[in-house]
A and B are shown apart, each in its own frame.
Chain A
Amino acid sequence: MPDYAQPQVLVNTEWVAKHGHDPNVRVVEIDVDTKAYDEGHVPAAIAWAWNTQLCDTVVRDILPKSQFEKLMTESGVSNETTLVLYGDNNNWFAAWAFWQAKIYGHKDVRIMDGGRKKWLAEGRELETTTRSASPASKAYKATEPDLSIRAFLPQVQQVQKAASAILIDVRSPQEFSGEILAPPGLPETCQRGGHIPGAHSVPWGKACNDDGTFKSRDELDKLYGTEGVSQSTPVIAYCRIGERSSHTWFALKYLVGVNNVSNYDGSWTEWGNLVGAPVEKGAAKSATQA
């Protein structure tokens, strides 16, 4: 993976097969479907549930710092641990966890390229016992949150008005246009359909190959370059609840090398429910969406 801006954040399945049991490596599976882990997982991997362990379950928010520290300590993760994340849906929530780990300053966090799907497709060993980690011997210490990689509503409203950053909507073309209010088959979770006016449509999956791995640096440069993204362009990515956009955020920041890119995790379930928020409907004008 030498062409990526920061190739060290990706590991392939072979690397995980070789190093998953190393004492300084902690492999964690994070799935959309939180039962998938129980069907078999990468040997030695533990699981985090995105909907109970990677968010505040009272207030809509990411984990508070103290809870993040508790999760890491209980997961046997020290500040020096190499944390390797993977999951289903081409690593949607693995990217979400990666993003939170970076917000709280974890130095060595990586994603297994291709995720759970590639591991299965390659016929690799699956462990079916549920792993529970021994707590780390020393309490994990997070940094103060790095909010430069997280966009909040007021910032997005300002950017939308001033056109001062590129907004990338990573949902499907039908969600972008307003034809549907949630991914097909899932409950509608917003009052209005459409997109933030001025947003560019680049569905998250455009960054992936069929086997779930990320496309090459050249392909990613072309994909996002078509929408006017360069390494110096401020970019905000959003989706419906912030996990698909964390996947795109990861690709832009670490693979393409965009310096100023943030994830708007409030996403469409915030914007599309706001009273009075401007909404644009209809298909994207760019060629990226098809």
Chain B
Amino acid sequence: MKAEHYEERRVEIDGWQVNVASYQFGTKWRAKADNVSPGAGLARAEADTREDAEKRVLDRARELLARTKRHSV
């Protein structure tokens, strides 16, 4: 099988830039969320639709990013 309909987009969550990539694989859709800088993966999910898969990774990314402390410099 092949990955199909691969797409990437950027969203902002609580001031952090997040990259969301998703594609179809067979009958399922897969999504992955990374923080744009530095590029570390935050969440991965599979669902029946692109929207659901992306929603799951964005929800998880939101939880993780909410825990990130900003320190005064």
List residues of chain A with CB under 8 Å of any chain B CB. Answer: 32-33, 35-36, 39-40, 88-90, 92, 117, 119-121, 123-126, 128, 171-175, 177-186, 188, 193-194, 203-205, 239, 244, 281-283
Instruction: Please name the residue on chain B nearest to A177 by beta carbon.
Output: B73
Instruction: Please name the residue on chain B nearest to A40 by beta carbon.
Output: B25
List residues of chain B with CB under 8 Å of any chain A CB. Answer: 1-4, 6, 8, 16, 21, 23, 25, 30, 32, 34-35, 37-42, 44, 61, 64-65, 67-71, 73
Contact A181 B65 (CB under 8 A): no
Instruction: Please name the residue on chain B nearest to A128 by beta carbon.
Output: B1
The binding surface of chain A is classed by DSSP as: loop
**What CA separation (Å) do A32 and B44 show in the bound complex?**
12
User: Which 5 pairs of residues, A with B, have the shortest CB-CB distance?
Assistant: A185-B64, A172-B37, A183-B40, A172-B38, A120-B3
Contact B41 A174 (CB under 8 A): no
Identify 6 new A-B residue pairs, CB closer than 8 A, beyond the known A117-B21, A128-B1. Answer: A32-B41, A120-B23, A181-B69, A183-B40, A184-B68, A282-B73
In the bound complex, residues from chain A placing their C-beta under 8 Å from that of B8 are 121
In the bound complex, residues from chain A placing their C-beta under 8 Å from that of B68 are 180, 182, 184-185
Instruction: Please name the residue on chain A nearest to B28 by beta carbon.
Output: A39
**What CA separation (Å) do A67 and B69 show in the bound complex?**
38
* Total A-B residue contacts, Cβ distance less than 8 Å: 99
Contact B73 A126 (CB under 8 A): no
Pick from B61, B65, B68 the residue with the most CB of A within 10 Å.
B68
With A185-B68, A188-B69 as known contacts, state yes or no: A125 contacts B39, CB within 8 Å.
no
**What CA separation (Å) do A123 and B7 show in the bound complex?**
11
With A40-B25, A126-B2, A179-B70 as known contacts, state yes or no: A205 contacts B64, CB within 8 Å.
no
With A123-B3, A185-B65 as known contacts, state yes or no: A244 contacts B38, CB within 8 Å.
yes
**What CA separation (Å) do A34 and B42 show in the bound complex?**
13
In the bound complex, residues from chain A placing their C-beta under 8 Å from that of B73 are 177-179, 193-194, 281-283
Q: How far is the CB of A94 from chain B (nearest CB, A)?
A: 14
Pick from B21, B64, B65, B71 the residue with the most CB of A within 10 Å.
B71
**What CA separation (Å) do A205 and B25 show in the bound complex?**
28
**What CA separation (Å) do A283 and B60 show in the bound complex?**
29
